[in-house]
Amino acid sequence: MPLSKDILNLRWNMEKIARKDGHKTNLKNLLLDAEKATNGLVPYASLGAHVPNDYFSNIKIKDAKLNTSQNYSDVDTSLTIGGRYSKNIIKTDVPFSVAGMSYGSVKLPAKIALHFALNKLAENGIKVLMNTGEGGALPWEIYGSEKSRENLSKNHWNSILEYTNKLLKDSHLEDICIDELFQRKYPLVVQYASGRFWKDPSYLLNADGIEIKIGQGAKIGHGGLLPGSKVTELVAENRGILPNKPAHSPSRHLDILGPEDLVAKILEIRELTEWKIPIIVKIGASRIYDDMEIILKSYADCATVDGVSGGTGAAPFEVREDIGINTIASLFPLRNTIADYYKTHDEDGFKLLVNGGIWDSERIVKVMALGADGVGIGTGFLLAMGCTLIQECHTDICPAGITGSHEKLDIENSVEGIFNYIKTTKTELENIAGSLGRKNIKDLEMSDLVVNDMLTSIVSRLSFSNGDDYVMKIKQKIENVMPFLNFQGE
């Protein structure tokens, strides 16, 4: 939904009011109210929720060094997904992936920058997993390998090229070499979401992994959303929907209403893909115990859990703010549920990926030490392309030209930024794990972390730097109040 001139004026008026009272006025809420009063529509928001406590900064990595003169490049930071039920296994060189950001929610130049950056990294020996997001894949993502183009008829290939040329022309990117574009050297996970924004099975068959998206942290129980202003003719063509109208995916898969339906759906996809492709189930962090138990008992290879601060291109403001729990808080129930399951089952390579509020090496280490096998990063990549965090991805005023506006994104600089971001994050991960004496990032443990407040200790089960845990702290409190009461020991 574009910001009307009226609303932009309101914002300016409110900014003046907020400045006058020393910014005590909650500008965002005032703006939302004004927006509601002006157009009578549910206001949207984007990026992550404004949760006041995300625990991350209350957790410290013990004795770890980001920057060290020692060389720890032998530390294994790889991640594998699949093999539990699938014949194929995805192997990446870093434990983080590009979280789902679809074409439409981000503009074409940003998608191309990510594509080229990941190709460049692969050429340099660092394979990074890319998730398409729920809005379907771009032609060069699906048909980015010789093998995927083998059985295409000439007509089909011509129509793909025609659409590709339209895409490039629309973004004034005609200079891009088509041959170079149609080379995908990194593993790709495609999303199978409730909107079914894809045209034919090649979307699933040519992917390296399939993620069944049940929910996402920013809009749990709501379904995907792309504001009408961002559904251009080309986005609509890619998704198979009408242009200029908001794309509201159903809040649930119409054929997945419960655990048995999930099993049926996974088996259906397994048959379609000849049991080759790893299948991931993605949920938002909410009723963790129940949802995770269902995923473990389905035929999934991996689960992705998205914390409430996980970003989005657009979500109703109140849904984003008020539904879902924090990434760190979700890890204790996740660990417990997985451990309970494997008390009666043999280890079979099930993987847990976690998203939401993670953008650098330290946060990756924190969630991995708390039980995750890998993480998804979204906002970090946007920042690497120049995002200013104004959180207006749902409108057409992105000053960096990443999510929507007439600003032009510098693809070359963005590719360089993403390349360096991933490379240095990998080195930082090696340094942290290496300085903690680990040879493999998977060997990180909870004992590598300490907390500095009671609540974080309770939700994460981590200890304080002096070795006390929350139970000891409460016992100390009990002992402190004892003298005020008259007790008799036996």
Partner 1 sequence: MILRLNEKAVIRRSILDLCKTDSIRKESTDDAIRAIREKRGTKYKENLWDYVVALGAQLSRPPFDPYREKIKLKTEVGRKGTTKTILKIPILLYGEFNLSQSSQDALNFALNNLVDNNSTVGIISKEEPYDERKYPHFQIINDVNKISDSEGIVMQYDDIGIIEKIRKIRKEFWGPIIVEVDENFSDYTHRLLASGVDGILVNTEKITKSKKYVEKHAISVIHDARKIINEFYQGKENDGTCLIVAGDVDSTGKIIKSVGLGADIVGYDLSLLIAKVGFYTENFFDSIITAEKIHNHMIATKNELIGIPAALGYSNFHNMSPSDFRTSSLKASLEGEILLEGVNKTYKKIIEEVLDEYIDTKKISVVQQQKQKIIEMISLEEN
Question: Nearest approach, Cβ of 396 to partner 1 (angstroms)?
Answer: 21
Question: Nearest approach, Cβ of 94 to partner 1 (angstroms)?
Answer: 13
Q: In this structure, what DSSP letter does residue 258 have?
A: S
Question: Nearest approach, Cβ of 323 to partner 1 (angstroms)?
Answer: 4
Q: Extract long-range pairs of 4-11: CB within 8 Å, 24+ residues apart.
A: 4/38, 4/39, 6/38, 7/31, 7/34, 7/35, 7/38, 10/34, 10/35, 10/38
Nearest to residue 315, comparing CAs of 97, 134, 130?
134
- Restricted to residues 152-211, the positions that interact with partner 1 (CB under 8 A) are none
Q: Is 242 near partner 1 (CB under 8 A)?
A: no
Question: Nearest approach, Cβ of 360 to partner 1 (angstroms)?
Answer: 6
Among 4, 38, 124, 440, binds partner 1 (CB under 8 A): 38
- Restricted to residues 422-461, the positions that interact with partner 1 (CB under 8 A) are 423-425, 427-428, 431, 452, 454-455, 458-460
Question: Nearest approach, Cβ of 472 to partner 1 (angstroms)?
Answer: 9
Among 3, 10, 99, 402, binds partner 1 (CB under 8 A): 10
Name the one range near partner 1 by CB under 8 A: 102-110, 156-164, 341-349, 410-418. Answer: 410-418
Tokens coding 218:
């920013």
Alpha helices in 143-196 (DSSP H): 146-149, 154-170, 178-181
Q: Is 95 near partner 1 (CB under 8 A)?
A: no
Measured from the CB atom, the residue of 177 and 478 that comes closer to partner 1 is 478
Q: Is 132 near partner 1 (CB under 8 A)?
A: no
Question: Nearest approach, Cβ of 348 to partner 1 (angstroms)?
Answer: 20
Measured from the CB atom, the residue of 89 and 458 that comes closer to partner 1 is 458
Instruction: Please say whether the beta carbons of 145 and 184 come within 8 A.
Output: yes
Nearest to residue 214, comparing CAs of 206, 223, 205?
223
d(CA 161, CA 238): 13
Q: Is 60 near partner 1 (CB under 8 A)?
A: yes
Among 168, 176, 446, 474, binds partner 1 (CB under 8 A): 474
Contact string 333-372 vs partner 1 (x = CB under 8 A): x-----------------------x-xx-xx---------
d(CA 70, CA 160): 49
Q: Is 332 near partner 1 (CB under 8 A)?
A: yes
Nearest to residue 374, comparing CAs of 262, 214, 211?
211
Measured from the CB atom, the residue of 143 and 470 that comes closer to partner 1 is 470
Alpha helices in 143-231 (DSSP H): 146-149, 154-170, 178-181, 202-205
Measured from the CB atom, the residue of 139 and 215 that comes closer to partner 1 is 215
d(CA 147, CA 330): 40
Measured from the CB atom, the residue of 141 and 306 that comes closer to partner 1 is 306
Q: Is 402 near partner 1 (CB under 8 A)?
A: no
Among 295, 314, 364, 398, binds partner 1 (CB under 8 A): 295
- Non-local (6+) Cβ contacts of 289 within 8 A are 333, 336, 337
Among 37, 179, 271, 346, binds partner 1 (CB under 8 A): 37
Q: Is 392 near partner 1 (CB under 8 A)?
A: no
Name the one range near partner 1 by CB under 8 A: 126-134, 181-189, 226-234, 247-255. Answer: 247-255
Tokens coding 482:
């004892």
Among 44, 56, 192, 197, binds partner 1 (CB under 8 A): 56
Q: Is 321 near partner 1 (CB under 8 A)?
A: yes
Among 40, 437, 467, 483, binds partner 1 (CB under 8 A): 40
Question: Nearest approach, Cβ of 241 to partner 1 (angstroms)?
Answer: 14
Nearest to residue 10, comparing CAs of 51, 50, 39, 42?
39
Measured from the CB atom, the residue of 182 and 317 that comes closer to partner 1 is 317
Among 1, 51, 126, 367, binds partner 1 (CB under 8 A): 51
d(CA 110, CA 408): 10
Q: Is 323 near partner 1 (CB under 8 A)?
A: yes
Q: Is 487 near partner 1 (CB under 8 A)?
A: yes
d(CA 335, CA 119): 34
Measured from the CB atom, the residue of 220 and 269 that comes closer to partner 1 is 220
Measured from the CB atom, the residue of 219 and 230 that comes closer to partner 1 is 219
- HEC string of 356-387 equals CCCCCHHHHHHHHHCCCCEEEECHHHHHHCCC
d(CA 341, CA 339): 5
d(CA 55, CA 363): 11
Question: Nearest approach, Cβ of 231 to partner 1 (angstroms)?
Answer: 16
Instruction: Please say whether the beta carbons of 240 and 134 come within 8 A.
Output: no
Cβ-based neighbour number of residue 149 at 10 Å = 15
